[in-house]
Amino acid sequence: MAGRPTELNPFFTETTSLKGVGPRVAEALGRAMGTRLKDLLLTPPSGLIDRSYRPKISDAKADQICTFNVTVGRHMVPSNKNRPYRIRVFDETGDMTLTFFKARSDYLNRVLPEGSQRIVSGKTEVFNAEMQMTHPDYILTPEKLDQLRLYETLYPLSAGLSQKVAGKAVMGALQRLPTLGEWLDSEMLTRQDWPSFHEALIRLHAPEHPVDIKVDAPPRLRLAYDELFAKQLAMALVRETTRRAKGRPLKTSGQYVDDVLNGAPFKPTGAQRHAFSEISADMSSPFRMARLLQGDVGAGKTFVAALACAQAAEAGVQVALMAPTEILARQHAATLKTLLEPAGLTVDAVTGRDKGKARDALATGLAEGYVDVVVGTHALFQEKVEFKDLGLVIIDEQHRFGVHDRLKLAEKGNNPDLLVMTATPIPRTLALTSYGDLDVSKLDEKPAGRKPIKTRILPMQRLDDVIDGVERAIKKGDQVYWVCPLVEDSELIDLSSVEDRHRQLTAIFGNRVGLLHGRLAAQEKESISQAFKRGSYDILVATTVIEVGVDAPNATIMVIEHAERFGLAQLHQLRGRVGRGDKQSSCLLLYKGPLSVNGKSRLEIMRQSEDGFLIAEKDWELRGSGDLLGAQQSGLPAYKLADLDKHKALLETAVQDARFLAQTDPSLTSKRGEAARNLLYLFEQDFGIALMKAG
C-alpha cells in the first residue's frame, strides 16, 4: 500500500514466503488465521500443550503429557500388519511400551534403533496394567532436545492444517519480527509493567510459562491494548478532523424552532430540551457537528430531530434524513410533516418506489431548494440526488452504517453537520468502540402521561390463558401485537412459526388477524402496517420486523413467544411498540422451559425495569459482547487480541489516550506520533492517516 512505512513490510509478507508453506498450506492457513505474517502473529494461541512434566517412568501418571529420557529396548514386530507395532523402552526406574499402528518397521528402526538414547514426548495411558504411549508427538536424540518446546502453543485450524504445521508457520513468522518504535506512553508501560510490543508477541507465541498466554497476562494485555488503541486512535483522528473541518455556523433567531415547539401537541421533556440545546450549540458553532443522539424506546428522538430540521431550515440549508427501511422513511416523513407544518416547512420522501413525474418533481424541488427536508433510505446518497445546499444530514438507526459511511455522507454537501440517531440504548463499551468519533446526547426520559408497561413472564403451557386475555382486550377495542421468532416451520427447531400461529389465531378470531414478516415485499409490509394502524386488524402476528417502525397508538398488548431466544435489547425494543398512547399496556413474555439460571435472570430484568440504558448494560454483562444479538449488524468491530468482556477497563484508557494524542499531535509528527502511524498501518486502521492527509 502506498504510504506504508517500509519497516512494516515483513508483517505484510505473504505466508508462502515461509519455509515449508506451499500454496496448499498457505490456503489452509489463510482460512484459519490469514494470508500474511501479521495475521499469524496477531492471532493469539487458542491453548497450550505443557511438555514441562518430565517424570521417571515409575513416577508417571496416566492421561498426562509426559516427556521421558529413555533407552530403546526390544522391537516387537507384529506377524499381522493390522496389529500394532510395539517397542519397549526403559530408564533406571522401570519400562513402558511405545505403540504404533500401521507403522513401517524400516522407519521405526531408523528413528528408534535398539540400544539408543531418545527423548519421547506424548500422552501416557494404561493398557493391560502397563504404562504405554501411542504415537509419541516427538522422538528426538538427546542433542536435539532444544527443538522440543516446553510449552507448545495451539492455534485455530482449518481442513488440511495440522497443529504442527500451524505452529511451525507462526514460529517462522516470529523469526522475521522487526523491532518498532514504542507508540505507548512510557509512564503507562512502567505503571502497567507491560513488555514492549516485540517482546509481548514473542512471549505470547513462545511462552516462558503457561501463564503468558492467558487473557489477563501482561503480554496479552499489552497486545489487546495496542489493538484497542489503534481503533480508538483512528476514530479520534476522524473526530478531530471532523471537529477541525470548517463547518458553517447555522445560527438563527430561533423563530422556526419556537413555531415547532408552540405547534407541538405535547410539552417536550427535560431530556429532549437538553439534547436539543447540545445539538443547537453544535450547529451554531463554526465547526462541523458529529453527534450521536441515543434515545430510549419512545423517548421522542424524532421530535428532537424536527427541532434540528427547523434550525437548519431557518439558516437557509436543506436537511436529508436517512432511514434503514422504506416503511421507516415514509413514517418519519409523515411525522416530520406534521411537526414542521407550524413552521411552514416542506418535507418529502424519496424511496425506490417513486418513479416518473413524481420523482422528477422531487428532484427539481431538491435541486432548486423548494424542499427543506427530504427523507429516504440510503438511496438518497447513492443515486444522483442533487441538493441546492445540504447543511444537515440525519441518520436514523445508525448501527446499520459504519464510520466509513459517515465519512462518505460528509462529502455529499458542503461539510454538512451530522446527527446520528438510534432508538437502541447502547452499552457504554459498544458506544466507545463503534461511535468513538461522535459526541453523545442521551434521551433517557419518557414523555409525560405515558403509563409504565406491565410485563409478565409466562410459560408456553399457559398459551390458552393468553389467548383468552387477548380476546378480552379486543372486546374492549384494544389491539394486539403477537411476535414469533421464525417465518416457517422447521423440523429441526421446535418453534411455533408466524404462519402457524397466524393460522391458529385466524381460526379463533377470523379475518381480523394480520400477518407481517420479512419475506413480504416492502409495499405489502407497508399496507399491512397501515391497515393495522387504521384498526382494520385486531391482532398483528409478526416477526421482529416490527422492532423498529410500526406505530399503532391503539395497540396495548405485546405477546412475545420464546422470549428466551431474544436479546434483552431486542425485547425492550419490541415492548416499546405498545404503551404509546395513554392507556395501560402490557407485555407478555412467553418462554419454553426449562429456563437456565442466566435465561431466568434475563427475563427477570425485563420484568423489573423499563430503563433501556440499564437493560443494555445488563444484557452486555449477562451475554458478553460476542453473543450480543446482532453484534455483527450493530457495527461491533471484530477484535482478535482484545476481548471486550475481559478488557473493558483497557478500552476506557485507550479512548482517553487516543483522544489525548489526536488532540495534542493531530498530524502524528512527534516521536510517539510517528510510532503510532506504524500501529495504525499494522492494525489496518490507516483510514485515519488518509484522512489526516486529506484534512
Give the model confidence (pLDDT) of 310-344 as tens digits: 999 999 999 999 888 887 888 899 999 999 999 99
- Three-state DSSP class for residue 124: strand
DSSP 217: S
Least confident span in 200-204, 309-313, 359-363, 411-415 = 411-415
Share of the chain above pLDDT 90, in %: 54
Confidence of residue 695 (pLDDT cuts 50, 70, 90): very low
Give the model confidence (pLDDT) of 369-412 as tens digits: 889 999 988 777 766 778 899 999 998 875 556 666 666 666 66
Give the model confidence (pLDDT) of 640-666 as tens digits: 899 887 888 899 899 999 999 999 999
Does residue 258 register a pLDDT over 90? yes
pLDDT score of 399 = 56
Give the model confidence (pLDDT) of 403-461 as tens digits: 666 666 666 677 889 999 987 777 777 777 777 778 889 888 877 777 889 999 999 99
Does residue 493 register a pLDDT over 80? no
Report all structural domains of the chain as residue ranges with CATH numbers, in order of start.
6-49+156-210 (1.10.150.20), 52-148 (2.40.50.140), 222-244+648-694 (no CATH), 255-443 (3.40.50.300), 454-609 (3.40.50.300)
Rounded mean pLDDT of 289-299? 85
Whole-number Å distance between alpha carbons of 210 and 199: 16
Rounded mean pLDDT of 163-188? 94
Rounded mean pLDDT of 75-85? 90
pLDDT score of 586 = 93
Confidence of residue 500 (pLDDT cuts 50, 70, 90): confident
Rounded mean pLDDT of 281-287? 92
Confidence of residue 494 (pLDDT cuts 50, 70, 90): very low
Q: What is the DSSP string of 22-82?
A: -HHHHHHHHHHT-SBHHHHHTS--SEEEE------GGG--SSSEEEEEEEEEEEE--SSTT
* Three-state helix/strand/coil letters over 71-117: EEEEEECCCCCCCCEEEEEEECCEEEEEEECCCCHHHHHHHCCCCCE
pLDDT score of 225 = 97
Which amino acid appears at position 173 of this protein?
A
* Grid coordinates given for 363: 428532484
- The sign of the dihedral angle between the CA atoms of 295, 243, 231, 663 is negative
Distance of CA 340 to the CA centre of its chain: 36
Give the model confidence (pLDDT) of 244-253 as tens digits: 777 789 989 9
pLDDT score of 626 = 47
Angstrom distances, CA of residue 184 to CA of 180, 223, 295, 671, 679: 12, 11, 36, 11, 10
Beta bridge partners of 76: 86
Confidence of residue 358 (pLDDT cuts 50, 70, 90): confident
pTM tops 0.85, yes or no: no
pLDDT score of 600 = 86
User: Is the distance from CB of 276 to CB of 304 less than 8 angstroms?
Assistant: yes
Q: What is the DSSP string of 416-445?
A: -EEEEEESS---HHHHHHHHTTSEEEEE--
Which amino acid appears at position 504 of this protein?
Q
Share of the chain above pLDDT 70, in %: 91
Confidence of residue 1 (pLDDT cuts 50, 70, 90): very low
User: Quick check: bond before 594 cis, omega within 30?
Assistant: yes
Nearest to 311, CA basis, from 262, 349, 276: 276
Does residue 492 register a pLDDT over 70? no
Give the model confidence (pLDDT) of 607-643 as tens digits: 998 888 888 888 877 766 544 433 333 444 578 899 8
Mean pLDDT score of the chain: 87
* Grid coordinates given for 520: 413480504
Confidence of residue 27 (pLDDT cuts 50, 70, 90): very high
Nearest to 584, CA basis, from 445, 471, 448, 453: 453
Rounded mean pLDDT of 547-555? 69
Does residue 684 register a pLDDT over 70? yes
pLDDT score of 496 = 52
Beta bridge partners of 559: 482, 588
Least confident span in 114-123, 132-141, 563-572 = 563-572
Confidence of residue 125 (pLDDT cuts 50, 70, 90): very high
Does residue 545 register a pLDDT over 80? no
Angstrom distances, CA of residue 50 to CA of 206, 269, 320, 371: 12, 61, 60, 70
Residue that wins the pLDDT comparison between 65 and 444: 65
Query: Is beta strand 479-483 parallel, antiparallel or unpaired with respect to 555-560?
Result: parallel
Contacts of 584 (CB under 8 A, 6+ apart): 451, 454, 556
pLDDT score of 491 = 47
